[in-house]
């Protein structure tokens, strides 16, 4: 079960999820490029890793491809530890928007690990536009809800 929250005071999104794997294996899935490319997704995209130096102080760049259209992402592996990964993350189409992502791998025993991620962006507007992204259907639903709300017949 994935749990998500938007911090009310800081432009942060936090996501928590448990996995049936050791912290070491979960870390490898985030730091080995061929493993990372297999799950980062979404399903409709192919991921091509262009540059990958998964060491403290290293950097990465990968490209998501769909029907010839490409979206490039890059960032730094600021720090890699057995139980913690700190990265910067930028979508090259919006080079001024830099997220600071921290991932914690909490060992739960019995071969289970809790992954906690925190993504800090530079403004509430950036966070909220990220929350709105990729939501054509949700946007329509949200708009209908807003319409109802604005016409004051929302219960």
Choosing from 51, 55, 66, 132, the residue that interacts with another protein (CB under 8 A) is: 132
Give the interface segment with another protein, choosing from 63-71, 75-83, 98-106, 128-136 (CB under 8 A).
128-136
> Do the beta carbons of residue 132 and residue 139 sit within 8 Å?
yes
The strand ranges marked E within the chain are 3-6, 12-19, 46-52, 58-66, 69-81, 84-91, 98-109, 112-120
Phi first, then psi, for residue 92 (nearest 5°) are: -65, -20
Structure tokens at 135: 């939501």
By CB under 8 A, the residues from 17 to 76 that bind another protein are 17, 19-21, 25-26, 28-29, 35, 38-43
Quick check: 145 binds another protein (CB under 8 A)?
A: yes
| Helix (H/G/I), strand (E/B), else coil: 110 | coil
Q: Which residues bind another protein (CB under 8 A)?
A: 1-6, 8-9, 13, 15, 17, 19-21, 25-26, 28-29, 35, 38-43, 115, 123-125, 128-132, 134-135, 138-139, 141-143, 145-146, 148-150, 152, 154
């Amino acid at each position: 079960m994935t749990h998500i929250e938007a911090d009310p005071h800081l432009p942060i999104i936090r996501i928590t999820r448990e996995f049936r794997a050791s912290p070491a294996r979960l870390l490898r899935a985030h730091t080995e490029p061929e493993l990372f490319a297999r799950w980062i997704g979404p399903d409709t995209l192919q991921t091509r890793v262009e540059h990958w130096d998964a060491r403290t102080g290293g950097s990465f760049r990968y490209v998501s491809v769909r029907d010839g259209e490409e979206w490039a992402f890059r960032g730094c592996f600021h720090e890699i530890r057995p139980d913690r990964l700190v990265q910067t993350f930028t979508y090259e189409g919006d080079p001024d928007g830099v997220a600071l992502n921290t991932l914690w791998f909490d060992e739960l025993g019995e071969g289970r690990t809790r992954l906690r991620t925190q993504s800090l962006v530079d403004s509430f507007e950036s966070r909220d536009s990220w929350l709105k992204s990729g939501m054509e259907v949700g946007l329509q639903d949200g708009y209908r809800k807003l319409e109802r709300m604005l016409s004051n017949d929302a219960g």
